[in-house]
Amino acid sequence: MKVWTVANQKGGVGKTTTVISLAGLLVQQGKRVLLIDTDPHASLTSYLGFDVDSMQGTLYELYQQPELDDATINHSIQNTEFDGLDLIPASMALATLDKVLGQREGMGLILKRILERLEDRYDYALIDCPPVLGVMMVNALAASSRVLVPVQTEFLAIKGLERMVKTLQIMQRSCPAPLRYTVVPTMYDKRTKASLAALKQLQESYPDNVWNSVIPIDTKFRDASLKHMPPSLYIKKCRGVFAYETLLSYLQRIQDRQGGL
């Protein structure tokens, strides 16, 4: 199972959209995909049509269990209405974990332990992160084989990326495996000078880590979210979906080159 984490400390850069877009394309390839929503705002969980306030069996409940047995894990996995796509949902209570469990030893590795138990059941796990550096993001980074960092193509977002890269460097010190990351320029508007300039700056500052294409602005993403459907399952032909298809083949290509990661 490949574990891809989508993270950026900056909010509203397209993290959840990236997770749901890649997930839709992966299930269309026939892959078994598990989504993990680690954001207390539960955007991904709501996106998929779940009622966050009344859910039983969430990621929070897994963090409450000292013993992670199969029954507990199974209880937290929700089938979605899309074949091959399951979800471990978020709940608002996740926001309390930093205070309650933040200092407890081994806290950072709980998600990794959960995913190790699910290794044979899924081809991919995609983790959506909150836009804050806290115990959930640390758990997600520690569990991942690749990190995707969506960055809006504008000046302030690039500042935010510097912080995220520092976080990755700090995390790397305690991770035995290399923490590989790919910067994904998002919400690119080729008509604006700001987008062009931001993209150029990204490519100059992170030449080895920036994906060589972009995700354009596309209003179809909002339409798909209103229908609670992964974009590619809602509308096959739009430039946004096409761009995520290109991103997915790029990621799968470098994954094959780097020995399955």
Minimum Å gap between C-beta 6 and ligand ATP is 8
Contact indicator for 16, 127 with CB cutoff of 8 Å: no
> Which ranges in the chain belong to alpha helices (H)?
15-28, 43-47, 59-64, 70-76, 97-101, 110-117, 135-143, 155-174, 193-205, 220-226, 231-234, 239-257
The string of DSSP codes covering 182-217 is EEEEESB-TT-HHHHHHHHHHHHH-TTTB-SS-PBP
167 touches, from Mg ion, ligand ATP, none (C-beta below 5 to 8 Å by class)? none
- Interface mask toward ligand ATP for 122-151; x: CB under 6 A: ---------x--------------------
**Which residue in this structure is represented by tokens 């894990």?**
73
Q: Is 226 in the site for ligand ATP (CB under 6 A)?
A: no
**Interface segment toward ligand ATP; rule CB under 6 A; list 10-18, 159-167, 193-201, 244-252:** 10-18
Stretch that binds ligand ATP, among 65-73, 87-95, 172-180, 211-219 (CB under 6 A): 211-219
Comparing CB distances to ligand ATP, the nearer of 86 and 218 is 218
Q: Judged by CB under 6 A, does residue 227 bind ligand ATP? A: no
Query: What burial letters (b/e) apply to 7-42, b meaning 16+ CB within 10 Å?
Result: bbbbeebbbbbbbbbbbbbbbbeeebbbbbbbbbbb
13 binds, among ligand ATP, Mg ion, none (CB under 5 to 8 A by kind): ligand ATP
Q: What is the largest CA-CA distance in the chain?
A: 54
How is residue 149 annotated by DSSP? Answer: E
Could you tell which of ligand ATP, Mg ion, none binds residue 110, using a CB distance below 5 to 8 A set by kind? Answer: none
| Candidate segments 86-94, 112-120, 192-200, 217-225, binder of ligand ATP by CB under 6 A | 217-225
Which is nearest to 254 in space by CA: 184, 164, 176?
Answer: 184
Residue 257 C-beta: closest distance to ligand ATP, Å: 27
- Identify the residue whose tokens are 């550096």: 133
Pick what 222 binds: ligand ATP, Mg ion, none; C-beta below 5 to 8 Å, kind-dependent.
ligand ATP
What does the binding site for Mg ion look like in residue numbers (CB under 5 A)? 15-16, 43
> What is the rounded distance in angstroms from the CA atom of residue 89 to the CA atom of residue 77?
8
Q: Which is nearer to ligand ATP, 100 or 226 (CB)?
A: 226
Positions in 80-99 near ligand ATP (CB under 6 A): none
Please give the residue ranges that form the binding site for ligand ATP (CB under 6 A): 11-17, 39, 43, 131, 186-187, 215, 217-218, 221-222, 225, 240
